[in-house]
Amino acid sequence: MTKKIIILGVPIDELTETQTVERIDRFVQSKRPHQIVTVNAEFLVAAQKDFSFRETLHQSSLNTADGIGVLWAAKYLSLPSIKTKFFHGLTTGWQLLCSALAVVFFPDHIRSVIPEKISGTDLIWSLAGLAESRGYSIFLLGGFGDTPQRVAVALRKKFPRLKIAGLYSGSPAEEGIVERVNKTGADILLVAFGPIKQELWISKNLKKLTASVCMGLGGTFDYIAGNKALAPNFLRYRGLEWAFRLITQPKRLFRIVNALPIFCYMVYRAKLLQNRPFRENVVGCLLNGKGQILVCRRKDSEPDFGASEHWQLPQGGIQVGEALEAAFRREIFEETGVSTLEVLGYVPDAYRYDWPAELADEMYSSKYRGQSQSIFYAKIGLGQNIKLDDREFDAYRWVNKEEIVSAIHPFRKDLAHLILQNFDRFVK
């Protein structure tokens, strides 16, 4: 697995374009559906409010950095913080100014964390080259009028042996599109329904699609078809593509505001939170006599994590002066009613994650930046019945070890992988 950089709670893969194409090649060969998202600053802003979209970004197989703003944010957030509150605020503001200037005057500086900007307008040509060399077929979905036909002509002009399995404009609300795509047997599906709409459509239909790679391309079809002008490379490299788009597409003003001042402010707030401690938390991997793991479903009144049913492991915070195991036993009793436990072992401070800045402010007035979770492995005693805390959960079930990653909510999958990595250390 490649390293992921977390920006505003969204994982971004630290890859070059060459590595991205190699990964896509493996996805196609796997014959299983994968979603790829080219994440830009607008996406990161939208994900702070639209939890269904944020869920999509967590579920995707690959998130590339599409935009200089994403590269800047990765670099800015990686800069060292000063622990003293007063100087931390000053330093954070100074770092913001210097790193923003570096985007234009020292563009290589901000590429030291995420090495390349991988946009749809660049990646589509690499994908077409891969498809031609490997014999993969592509379906072009979306765009107005004859746009997909003109895109196909442009791609075939450079890659004459490229297999175009199908072309269709369509819309996200139209019925029967999945069947139309599947009928062609396409290996790669490129969708241009417009930013966010296309990602949500792919996520919703991914399990029904037979294409191994599905990717949204926003306005890429328009650029290739010649409907819109693409900014010169020197402007794109120095982060000035927004100025070119504002001049040539003034209707994008609202989107540019989201991608510049609002995005910068959100990243600045996230940077300020880096000086805050993590809230200590304990998580229980509870096992029954069959070796199955308990997962609980949060109530419908919990909207913070998207549209999916929110299944998770029992967990909770540690009180002041409370020992880890004591906190674990207390939280398990409060949430599940289980009082008899055989603790098999635990991994302290196993997983840390940041909350979105607004959520941190709402929950604890920015006292904490996120949570540090210690994982406990334990067997429940014989005859112990599950009695859920009905203020938080409304259902529970037992799942096999192999099912834990798919069973719990996408936001908690990294934790699930850690549980599996340490499982055999404690469970014999």
Helix (H, G, I), strand (E, B) or coil at 205: helix
Residue 353's pLDDT is what? 85
Q: Where are the domains of the chain?
A: 4-67+117-228, 278-426
For residue 94, count other CB atoms closer than 10 A to its CB.
11
For 404, list phi and psi in degrees, rounded to 5: -65, -40
Q: What is the mean pLDDT of residues 333-357?
A: 91
3-state secondary structure of 297: strand
pLDDT band at 242 (very low <50, low <70, confident <90, very high): low
- CB-hemisphere CA count at 13 Å for 424? 2
Beta bridge mates, 347: 375
For residues 170-192, average pLDDT: 94
Give which of 365, 334, 344 is closest to 425, Cα–Cα: 344
Q: What is the DSSP string of 156-176?
A: HHH-TT-EEEEEE---TT-TT
Q: What is the pLDDT of residues 278-293, one digit of tens each?
A: 999 999 999 999 999 9
pLDDT, residue 209, reads 97
Mean pLDDT of 16-20: 94
- Residue 367 C-beta-side C-alpha neighbours within 13 Å: 6
Has domain 278-426 been given CATH number 3.40.630.10?
A: no
CA distance to 126, 237, 247, per residue, from 231 (Å): 19, 10, 11
pLDDT average, residue stretch 412-418: 89
**pTM (two decimals):** 0.80
Worst-scoring range by mean pLDDT, 152-156, 302-306, 405-409? 302-306
Cα→Cα distances 309→260, 275, 380, 393, 408, Å: 33, 33, 25, 11, 9
Query: Which region among 67-76, 151-160, 222-231 has the lowest average model confidence (pLDDT)?
Result: 222-231
Please tell me the class of the 4-67+117-228 domain.
Answer: alpha beta
229: confidence class by pLDDT, cuts 50, 70, 90: low
- pLDDT band for 86, please (50, 70, 90 cuts): low
Residues 400 and 421: their CA atoms lie apart, in Å, by: 15
**More confidently predicted of 24 and 384:** 24
pLDDT at site 388: 94
Question: What is the percentage of the chain residues whose pLDDT exceeds 70?
Answer: 90
Nearest Cα residue to 76 out of 110, 40, 39, 44 = 110
Q: What would the DSSP string read from start to end of 67-134?
A: SHHHHHHHHHHHS---SSHHHHHHHHHHHHHHHHHHHHH-TTGGGSSS-----HHHHHHHHHHHHHHH
CA-to-CA dists, residue 318 to 119, 278, 304, 352, 372, angstroms: 43, 11, 22, 15, 10
